[in-house]
Structure 1
Amino acid sequence: MPAPERAPGATVVVATRDRAADLRVTLPRHAAEVVVVDNGSTDDTPAVLAAEAARRRAAGEPGLRTLRPGQNLGATARNLGVAAARTEVVAFADDDSWWAPGSLQRAEQLFAEHPRLAVLAARTLVGPAEELDPVCLDMASAPWGRAPDLPGPHVTGFVACATVVRRDAFLATGGFDRVVHFGGEEERVTYDLLAAGWGLAYVDDVVAHHHPSPSRGTAQQRRELLQRNALLTAWMRRPLRVAARSTVGSFLAGGEARRGALAAVPRVPAALRQRRGTSPVVEERLAVRG
């Protein structure tokens, strides 16, 4: 059965929770239709969303739709937004990020020209100084090479708030998962897309702005969370010997690594229930970095 026709253009999907102040700044900067998934906010977020939707209607701008799952779904809230999108091209944004003018039109063109492209990782400018995110320098250096049927260097990972995806390819992977919940949630999706033969590429002329919210957790909390989720992803997709070695190594390392491993342990059974066979393509890519 042929795939259903999708509307032209792009949709921006934003998952948010208790960041009304950030949304007041970023939502008016999205030039495309926006689907916001509210992860159970208890601040003024509903009022901000209603006001922005009304402003867009009055101005004749692309609309804003709100989904309210009634609980904090973490990164998996984005799955609801992608499923609700009427376009094949979907751009993620956080409540503290937005897309540069013209970037989504450029992304739509590239997805049309490159049918194997599933993920477009954009150039990301961070903070009021608009400094280039160091991860962009790494991706642009093409450590994993290039393919003639993709618009830029291969990537083996992406930052969700600066990424555009092909809707159906993303949903075919199951989207983000409840095991990881939030933090490093992109890793497992990357592995599944690569295993299925999709392309992921860095494109320098598609640009996202990210001004990290002041209402974020500490850097230490973030590192511990990323450690936990990297281990859980390993148990879901990497060879068992790799997952076991990484977990033991984290315990032995102590400090943040050990705390991340301790946090991972209760979730390992759920990770194993989501486990699939390992992918040679993924393991070859990861071997490049050792």
Structure 2
Amino acid sequence: MTTETPQAPVPLAQRVTVVLLTYNCAHRLDEVLDHLLALGVPLVAVDNASGDGTVDVLRRRGVEVHRLPRNIGAAARNVGVELARTPYVACCDDDGWYEREGLVLAADLMDRHPVLAVVNARILVGPEQRLDPISAVMADSPLPDRHDLPGTVLMGFMAGAVVVRRSAYLQVGGYAERFFIGGEEETLALPLLRAGWQMRYVPEVVVQHRPSRANVDAVRPYGMRNTLWNAWLHRPLGSALRWTWFVLRDPRRRPGRWRGVLWALLGMPAVLRDRSVMPAQLDADLRVLDEAHYATLRRPQRAEAAQRV
């Protein structure tokens, strides 16, 4: 009778690389690096042509850094993912960090479920660790699970709070540079879904977020432009029209709305040339999420109407 010797688990450093995207963050970067370096995994920083000494901070801390000659937004993450030599990559922005236990869990889940391409973390905001509202939305996902995977079903994610399967990311080409930044997650999520990959929200995976408001207003028009471009790139005519009408009416998108619409219109000829309609089941699932978005818009309107009665 022989007994098998149990295999030692593969060390986390051989499974996960953290790719850190930086831009003009020298003033807050040391705290982030303290936590990321303590994870004990490879760390690759890609800098979007910062002009404030960010690269100096990274080099002083011994971080592998690749400084780009110009700011290409979210597509800079592609550089870091290409450079990684592990099967999974934790994408990190320059105002947050991962907790190690969650990275271990994310890697274990991806080891066990080859169809799983994205694990979105629970996001805790500030020293008081408030739950980010987007995490609550993800936890309540109304989408059905057809693959029996842990977590709740997603069709989108938060770019700085996900562990991705490197091979899946590279298969679909990563982030497209023309989208720059702002709601850029859609530009990667939809190609992943169309290629058959799955995405899940797993609350045991945790990102600590110390948000910077420095570029929020500048990014808003890009977010409006990108959500319109994505609708017309991938969705059937009726769904694209309904989504366009919704985002134009959504008061949460009011800042920068019309500039974003103008930018979307200017780029629409190229978008329509590349248009490729998604499978019907994907659009049906997206329409389930559309209805959830519409409901959030209607609730304050109904409350206001009730007060007038």
Contact in 1 for aligned 2:239/2:287 (Cα 8 Å) = no
Distance 1:123 1:249 in 2: 27
Letter in 1 for 2:16: A
Distance 1:206 1:101 in 2: 9
* 1:22 maps onto 2:28 in alignment: yes
When structure 1 is superposed on structure 2, of 148-157 and 43-52 the one drifting more is 148-157
Distance 1:275 1:99 in 2: 36
Superimposed CA distance per residue, residues 192-217 of structure 1 (whole angstroms, 9 cap, x where no aligned partner): 11111111111111101111014233
Matched position secondary structure for 1:49: helix
Contact in 2 for aligned 1:188/1:237 (Cα 8 Å) = no
Q: How many residues align?
A: 272
Q: Map 1:62-211; keep pairs closer than 5 Å.
A: 64-211=63-210
Cα offset, 1:107, TM superposition: 1.2
1:49 counterpart (36, 58, 69): 58
Unaligned runs of 5+ in 1: 1-6, 54-63
Cα offset, 1:266, TM superposition: 1.7
* 1:38 maps onto 2:47 in alignment: yes
Unaligned runs of 5+ in 2: 1-12, 292-309
CA gap of 1:243–1:258, structure 2 versus 1, over 3 A, is: farther
Matched position secondary structure for 1:50: helix
Cα offset, 1:274, TM superposition: 3.7
CA gap of 1:252–1:163, structure 2 versus 1, over 3 A, is: closer
1:227 match: 224
Contact in 1 for aligned 2:158/2:185 (Cα 8 Å) = yes
Cα offset, 1:133, TM superposition: 1.0
Matched position secondary structure for 1:179: helix
2:275 match: 275
CA gap of 1:207–1:70, structure 2 versus 1, over 3 A, is: same
1:9 match: 15
Cα offset, 1:245, TM superposition: 5.5
Contact in 1 for aligned 2:26/2:54 (Cα 8 Å) = yes
Superimposed CA distance per residue, residues 130-176 of structure 1 (whole angstroms, 9 cap, x where no aligned partner): 10111212221231133454221111110011111000101111111
Matched position secondary structure for 1:157: coil
Contact in 2 for aligned 1:13/1:91 (Cα 8 Å) = yes
Contact in 1 for aligned 2:121/2:202 (Cα 8 Å) = yes
Matched position secondary structure for 2:265: helix
When structure 1 is superposed on structure 2, of 100-109 and 147-156 the one drifting more is 147-156
1:288 match: 288
Distance 1:251 1:10 in 2: 40
Contact in 2 for aligned 1:96/1:211 (Cα 8 Å) = yes
Distance 1:250 1:148 in 2: 31
1:60 match: none
Matched position secondary structure for 1:21: coil
Letter in 2 for 1:38: D
Instruction: Give the alignment's Cα RMSD to 1 decimal.
Output: 2.2
CA gap of 1:253–1:286, structure 2 versus 1, over 3 A, is: closer
Letter in 1 for 2:279: S
Letter in 1 for 2:43: V
Cα offset, 1:78, TM superposition: 0.2
Contact in 2 for aligned 1:15/1:77 (Cα 8 Å) = yes
Letter in 1 for 2:151: G
Cα offset, 1:249, TM superposition: 6.8
Contact in 2 for aligned 1:123/1:208 (Cα 8 Å) = yes
2:306 match: none
Distance 1:251 1:13 in 2: 34
Contact in 2 for aligned 1:37/1:69 (Cα 8 Å) = yes
Distance 2:26 2:204 in 1: 30
Percent identity over the alignment? 41
1:58 match: none
Superimposed CA distance per residue, residues 213-235 of structure 1 (whole angstroms, 9 cap, x where no aligned partner): 142333xx544332211001112
Structure exhibiting the larger radius of gyration computed from Cα positions: 2
Contact in 1 for aligned 2:124/2:208 (Cα 8 Å) = yes
